[in-house]
Structures are given as C-alpha cells and as structure tokens.
Structure 1
Amino acid sequence: MSGRVQTVLGGVSPAVLGRTLPHEHLSMEFTHFYRRPPAALVSKFPARHISLQSVGYLRQYPYSSKYNLTLNDKDTAQAVLNDVNMFRESGGGTIVENSAEGLDRDLSFLKRVSTETGVHVVAGTGYYIADTQHDDTLHSTTEEMYQRMLAELMEGCVGDKSIKAGFIGEVASVWPIREFERRAIVAAGEVVEQLGVGVSFHPHRNPDAPAEIIRVYLEAGGRAERAVMSHLDRTLVEEEKLLTFAELGTYCQLDLFGAEVSYYQLAPHGDMPGDARRLQLLRALRDDGRGERCTVSHDIHTKHRLADFGGHGYSHILHNVLPRMKSRGFTPRDIHLVAVENPARWLTIHKEF
C-alpha cells in the first residue's frame, strides 16, 4: 500500500499502523449531553469521583454525571495513558482521535500520548454538531470551513502548527441536519475532492440520516470510498437497512463495542445493541461481500469506559471481540481486514501536499 498516513508525530507508512481503532477519543468534553438521572438514583452520582459503589449505575446512566462526561481533566489524563499503554502491550498499533471543533480537542495531549506510549495517533479536523459550537464558529461559511480544514491537513492545526491533521472528522450532525452542519458536510466533500483524504461522519440516530449525509457529501464532490459512516451499530440496527446503506460504497463502521446498556439515554425510544448483535451485523456485511468496507472501534468518550475507572478500555476489541470473531465463523483474513487493512487503506493519503 503506497502513500502515507499523517500522525501527530509526522507521516508514516500505512504498513506500520498495525491493529487500528478508527474511532476513539483521548481528550474531549461532552457535558452538553448531560441528562438528569432518575430521581431515586441522584445520590448515586457523586460530583467529583467514580467509585466501586457508583460505577454500576454509571454504566447504565453514563450521561448523568458531568464528571464522567469530562474526558480532558487531570484525573483522565493518566487513566488514558495507562489504557493506551495496555492497548500497545496487547498488540495495538494506532488510535484515530475523532475530537473535532466543538469537543475541546487537545492536540498537545495527543502528541504526549503518542510519544509516551509508542502508539500512532492520528488527529482529525472538522466540526461537531451545531449545538456544541461557539458563536464565532457557528457562523462560519462553507468557504471558511473548507479553508480551515485544508490548512489543518496541509500546514498544521490551529493551536499547534507542528501537528497536521490526518483525516477529516468526526463531522457530526443532528436530525434534521442543521444548516451549519450541512455546510460542514459540503466543505468536507470539497476537501476530499481536492486532497483525497479520509473523512469520518457522525450521523444522528434517525435511520435516514446516514444516507442523507452521504448524498450531500457526494453532491459536493466527495468520494464514497474515502468516507466512513460511524455509529451504524446504533443507527441501522436492522440488517436490511444496513445492507441497503452499504450499497453506497462507504466504509460501514460499528464503533460502540463494549457499550452494553439496557436503556440508551440519548435515544430513549431506541435500543443500544450489545456486542453479540454488533458481530451479527458485521457478519451480515461480510456475507454480503462488504468485508473490505467494514471497521470496528469503541468510541470511548466517557471516563467510565476507561479501565482505571472500571471500564473495558481501548483493548476490549483486541481481548474480547477479535477472538470471538474466530468462533463466530470469521476467517483470519476477515479479522485482518477489519482490524488492520481497512483502516489503513482509509487513512492513507496518496497525494503529495
């Protein structure tokens, strides 16, 4: 595989990435999504720590603790470093960090993580949903968004010019798609048309959202084979709908592995499938001939999913999912595609700039 992958420490050959998590967060702030817990459980959510007595409640109501939703404080930093070290010791090679504008991206910490652990880290550029943006960003034109993403990919990121973004993402939207979000999708398509980089989209939970995002993106000049559609394991949970979307030719990403909850706070009328169902969806894609367009990850964005806070950590897929795939009829080739080859192909930049 020719070309390069742009990490926070510089360009590398895609051949050195190894097992890759294409949708994670190492540092971000997610308190916009806070939800009050059930009245009887309010006392179970302490303000400044996570204990053995509280973590069980957090696993079911993760968005009911602002402390849990803050992944960029001092308490989290060491936990992330410990977790990424375990990921490396378990055979992991690369983490793709999807914290875009609106999630309080911390580039210096991404560089620190990569330097101290030896894991390749790829930073993204782009825009999260409108509701998380500052007023000055919210009124950005399509051209301004395009120019900023282009500059962060080619010259260096705002806040640290020594770091270049390696992909666009995650570009996020709600439903119906807001005008700010639509401009961000269009700008992403224009950048992909020019540079051929990869892009990661975050759809709303409405099953019509993924296809509409790709429609807007393609009309702007984007290429389907350079796009990842994230969170399909909580958006298109019916196999028929998932396989219909897959016909568009994007990477289909199942990236909530490790999330096992009986009540999904951000979509109370929907369900959050467990890992067993995610593997069924992955097998359906494989059986439909889409094995070269599948990726898997955890989307860790809260403290409680880190090992130091009682969670499964970034190594969960390596320890618990890939071995299970073998017993579910996936071949070694299938596993290599999902864990190594597909994310490397998506991240590879072939143009010189």
Structure 2
Amino acid sequence: MTADARAVQTVTGRVRPEALGRTLIHEHVLIGFPGWNLDALAPRFDRGDAMARAVDQMQRLRDLGVGTFVDPCPMDLGRDVEFLAELSQKSELQIVCTTGAYFEAEGITHTFRHLPVEEITAIYIKEIVEGIGDTGIRAGAVKIATGAHHISDYERKLVQAGARAARETGVPLISHTQEGSCGHDQIDLVTGEGVAADRLLVGHSDGVDDHEYHRSLAERGAFVGFDRFGITLILPDEVRVKNVLKLAHAGHTRNLLLSHDSIVCWQGRPVPFAARHEDVLAMLPDWRPTSILTKIVPQLRAGGLTEADITT
C-alpha cells in the first residue's frame, strides 16, 4: 500500500496517518434532526454565533493536544461540510467528515427507501471520491446506523451500501448503535460485503454494561467505541471507565476508541425536553469534547493504564 493510499481525507485535504495526532473519533460540530428548520418555536440558528462557539471549542481541544476531530454526522442530520471546512481553517484543527445516512427511526427514510442498494452505494462513493454536492469537500469515512436490538430492512440496505462504498474506496466505517445492541449484526453485514472487521468502529458500544459483549466485538477484530462519555443519562461514566479498564486489561487496548458523541452546536431544539444547548449542558455537564482528556484519562491512569496504552 502506498503512503498516499493510507492518507486520511479531511475537509481541507489529505493528511498522512502520522500527522493526525491525538484524535477524537466520534464528535459532532453541528446537528439538526430532520425537520428542525420547520419548528417556528425553536431558537433561531445563528451561523456566526455557532462558528464562534465551535472555534472556541476546537481551540480548547488544540490546547489539550488534539490534532484531529472526526465528525461522523450523517447526511440527514444537518451535515454542513462548508461550515466544517471554515471551522478547520479558523481553528487549525483537522476535521474529518462522513457520508452515509442515519437509522430508520430518526433519519430520512423516504428519500432512500425507494432507492436500490446499488444507487445508494454510488451516492456514497461519489461523496468520497468527487466531493459532497458542489463543494469539492470529500468524505473521509462512511457512517452506518442501526436501531435498537433489530436491524430493519431499510437499515440493512444502508449498511450494505456503506460497506460496499468502503470496500471500493478504502475508507473506514463508523457506526451508530442503539442501546449497545446489534454490533455483531453490523460486523456480519460488513464482513459479508468483503470488508474486514478491523475497518469498522462499532459505535456507542458503551451503551450497555456488558464486558462479554465488548470483549466479543474486540475478539472479532472490530474497534469498540466507548464514545459517549458524558452522557450519564444512559450510563454513569464510572461504568464506562470500569469497562474500558476491563477490556484493556484483557489485552484489547488496540481495539478501544474513546470519544463523547458531543454536539458543539445544535440546529433547532437539542432534544424535545431541552430548548437550548445550555439546558442540555445543565443536565449533562461533562458532555463536552474536552472531558476525556481532563477527567477520564486520569482515571484510566489510576486504573493501571500506561501512557503507551492510552496513546495506542
């Protein structure tokens, strides 16, 4: 494999893997659930204010030694790659965006429901190879997503399309799971399309307190996403730390990827029960992209992990 083939596509160009630096693998700059712009009662989205907030967060991450921020926002959740490119240039932080669509219950089911898997695959490949829309900004990974405890026919088609696009282009797959379920089903679908399990990050695996589930994913070669630190409404971070340490001490350090799934700026209401970003942070004060480095890493060190383990 040539050095160029190994390069990672960011929103401002390709970089060598060794130039990525410390990387947060699953975070979001902007999120807007389908229909956010139709809600006349929601706070008005101010692009300038959002950019200022995002630049501040990226600079905080740079000060903590982060070099790359991966934003696996699917195309149907308010993805704005031009915003990401401007942010990357202003903050001097590398940002990777993705192609791919969200799971059935919360994504754009109608648009893709009637397309065959071959056409969806072609759409994904176009966004990876040529660029997203007319921006020229290329996706560096594919997002796949499935619902809780069952993969619908619609989601199966999207996962197959994502795997085929990854197989043809060489980019990795980053997944969304619900309630820490369907990780093995995702691996089965991806490997069934000829993609090795080590090209898949099974996201949100920390949604369940189940070491055997985590271990079994790692033993199949997939990356295991402990990528919702700070979302303590699902599980306390102490449980996530416990399970990270268990998996690491079981010999699977290289399969572990940590992140927050944080959202720097919302388009529309963050969630039905919180009208503003500040309301969300009041409920989840550690759900911000700096928390792992400032609060979780010291706990991992105290749990016996070395610097080599943490930076692997």
Flag whether TM exceeds 0.5 (same fold).
yes
Q: 1:222 to 1:100 in 2, by over 3 A?
A: same
Partner of 2:311: 336
CA distance in 2, matches of 1:81, 1:245: 35
1:153-199 C-alpha deviation (Å, 9 max, x unpaired) = 11111252x21111111x11114222221111111221222222110
Equivalent residue for 1:14?
A: 17
Contact 1:8 1:163 in 2 (8 A): yes
> Relative to total residues, which structure has the larger strand share, 1 or 2?
2
Q: TM-score when scaled to structure 1?
A: 0.76
Q: TM-score, normalised by structure 2?
A: 0.85
CA contact (8 A) 1:102 1:134 kept: no
Q: Mind listing any 5+ residue stretches in structure 1 that lack a counterpart?
A: 34-46, 49-65, 262-271, 338-353
**Aligned residue in 2 for 1:29:** 32
Whole-Å Cα distance in 2 between the matches of residues 280 and 145 of structure 1? Answer: 39
Shift of 1:324: 2.3
Q: Which residue of 1 aligns with 2:297?
A: 322
Cα separation, partners in 2 of 1:108 and 1:229, compared to 1, 3 Å: same
Q: Deviations over 1:49-107 (max 9, x none)?
A: xxxxxxxxxxxxxxxxx65xx98865433222211111112211110011112212001
Match of 1:133 in 2: 108
Query: More deviation in 184-193 or 5-14?
Result: 184-193
Which of residues 210, 223, 231 is equivalent to 2:204? 231
* Whole-Å separation in 1 of the counterparts to 2:218 and 2:77: 28
Identical counterparts, % of pairs: 27
Query: Structure 1's 206 and 119: CA in aligned 2 closer, same or farther, altered over 3 A?
Result: closer
In structure 2, the residue matched to 1:4 is: 7
Q: In the superposition, relative to structure 1, how do residues 146 and 335 fare at CA in structure 2: closer, same or farther (>3 Å)?
A: same
Counterpart amino acid of 1:314? Answer: P
The aligned length equals 290
Letter in 2 for 1:30: F
Contact 1:146 1:187 in 2 (8 A): yes
Gap regions ≥5 residues in structure 2: 264-269, 271-276
Q: Once superposed, what is the RMSD of the aligned Cα atoms?
A: 2.6
Higher relative contact order (CA 8 A, sep 6+): 1
Instruction: Say whether 1:290 aligns with 2:247.
Output: no
Tell me what 2:217 maps to: 245
Q: Cα offset for 1:312?
A: 5.0
Could you tell me which residue of structure 2 aligns to residue 62 of structure 1?
none
Shift of 1:136: 2.6
Q: 1:149 aligns with which of 124, 128, 132?
A: 124
User: What do residues 93-149 of structure 1 show as CA deviations (whole Å, max 9, x unaligned)?
Assistant: 110011112212001110011000000000101111124206333322111111111
One-letter amino acid matched to 2:168: Q
SS at match of 2:300: helix
